[in-house]
């Protein structure tokens, strides 16, 4: 009986992404563009020692900026046919579940877009919501680093920096 309880206490906790959104924000001298998707897949695992692994991905084709021509061009410059997903994978530490109060952690991540992988340190705010955990984050990334040909309007390219932000709700896997 004690061995069974010990194994339960030392088990890895698996959390599935239940809902959420990812938003990219691009800036051009004349305007700002946001594209959003709610079509996400993700999972997190937390080891008994507080080390966590996280993976979240979204189909590039599901981002919607409210302008179908702009969205089509975004799919072209990210080579969506060859690289259909934008993916974030990473590790974090210092987690204790169940989460009793809000916490701030850093995800040591690899972001993949356009078939290019880049390291990123992503600050995440975790908030308990009953048996669920909400994660909010924002990180600035370089389009040039992902070898993305920056869109132009009136011969002026959008800024190199793109803000990727998200709000994700995880729940223990069943």
Domain 12-172 class, CATH top level: mainly beta
Distance separating alpha carbons of residues 85 and 7, to the nearest angstrom: 36
**Closest residue by Cα to residue 60 from 43, 79, 88, 33:** 79
Q: pLDDT by residue for the chain (174 residues), tens digit each?
A: 444 444 444 578 899 999 999 999 988 777 788 999 999 999 999 998 889 999 999 999 999 999 898 889 889 989 999 999 999 999 999 888 788 899 999 999 999 999 999 999 999 999 999 889 999 999 999 989 988 887 766 776 778 888 999 999 999 988
Residue extents of the structural domains in the chain: 12-172
- pTM of the predicted protein model: 0.84
């Amino acid at each position: 009986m004690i061995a069974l309880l010990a194994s339960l206490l030392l088990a890895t906790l698996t959390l599935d992404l239940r809902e959420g959104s990812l938003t990219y924000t691009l800036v051009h001298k004349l305007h700002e563009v946001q594209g959003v998707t709610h079509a996400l897949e993700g999972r997190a695992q937390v080891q008994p020692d507080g080390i966590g692994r996280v993976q979240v991905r979204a189909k590039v084709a599901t981002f919607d900026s409210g302008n179908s021509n702009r969205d089509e061009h975004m799919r072209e410059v990210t080579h969506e046919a060859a690289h259909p997903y934008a993916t974030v994978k990473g590790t974090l530490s210092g987690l204790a579940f169940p989460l009793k109060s809000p916490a701030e952690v850093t995800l040591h991540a690899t972001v993949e877009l356009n078939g290019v992988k880049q390291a990123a340190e992503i600050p995440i705010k975790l908030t308990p919501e009953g048996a669920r955990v909400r994660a909010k984050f924002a990180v600035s990334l370089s389009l040039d680093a992902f070898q993305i040909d920056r869109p132009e309007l009136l011969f002026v390219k959008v800024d190199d920096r793109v803000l990727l932000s998200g709000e994700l709700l995880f729940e223990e896997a069943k």
